[in-house]
Amino acid sequence: MIPTTIHQTWKTADVPARFAASAASWRTLHPAWEYRLWTDESLEAFVHETYPEMWDLYRRYPEQIYRVDAARYMLLHHFGGIYADLDIECVRPVDALRVHRVVLPATAPLGFSNDLMMAAPRHDLFASLIHELDRSFARWGHSYVPRHFRVLLTTGSLHLSRTVARARAKDEVHVLSPDLYSSQDRERAYVYHWPGNTWAGWDTRLLTGTYDGWRRLTRIIARH
């Protein structure tokens, strides 16, 4: 089963006030679970000590967001449990999901998100995610690739989605459907998303704004 450990990350132990309530929600709804907040410093020590073969790549990443993305795969591979971004509020306990080996949320327009993941320790999928990091960075980590896609393809959700698509163990992935993950329906979903994207640059904001606008337009057209 998936261990009862919750992993979250921030630059330091001083979590911004805007994330305090969402971070606390995980502890409130899972009082018997172990809660671990990883800082940039403690992540660095963890990677150096536990995954020394990844240390050179970890230090070569040009920004901290790459390191945090990569480290979350290592945390779940080594310890198992659940990883959640700080801007994700838990609105009902996730204990029922522990019977699965891996839980990943489906995200629009395709693939999986890496902002909420659950896994049993030493799962082959997370071993593959770690193994493929070097190849993804070599292929996509170039300045001519727009930053938004460079992050997603080298360590983020597109790296996750591409690896899952090729993984032998993909049949063990339990997909958390949009109504349970991204519907924002507090009566049904496991989580509620608050504004975050602390890593986002102008290109990410432009792309997400354009996509959100297109979705609103299509819904209006569909109603008429």
**Residue 224 binned pLDDT confidence (cut-offs 50, 70, 90):** very low
* pLDDT reading at 203 higher than 50: no
Express as a percent the part of the chain with pLDDT over 70.
87
- Checking if the pLDDT of 78 tops 90, the result is yes
Tell me what the mean pLDDT of segment 152-171 comes to: 94
CATH architecture type of domain 5-196: Alpha-Beta Complex (3.90)
What is the pLDDT confidence band of residue 55, given thresholds at 50, 70 and 90?
very high
Residue 91: half-sphere exposure toward Cβ, Cα within 13 Å: 17
Closest by alpha carbon to 5, among 70, 80, 77? 80
Residue 102 in 3-state DSSP?
strand
- pLDDT (average), residues 38-64: 98
Place of tokens 């949009």: 178
Whether the per-residue pLDDT at 215 is higher than 90: the answer is no
The pTM of the full predicted model, rounded to 2 decimals, is: 0.87
Element (H, E) at 183: none
Could you give the strand order of the β-sheet that contains 34-38, starting from the edge strand earlier in sequence?
A: 34-38, 5-9, 81-84, 116-119, 102-105, 173-176
- Domain-wise residue ranges, the chain: 5-196
Residue 221 clears pLDDT 50, i.e. is over it: no
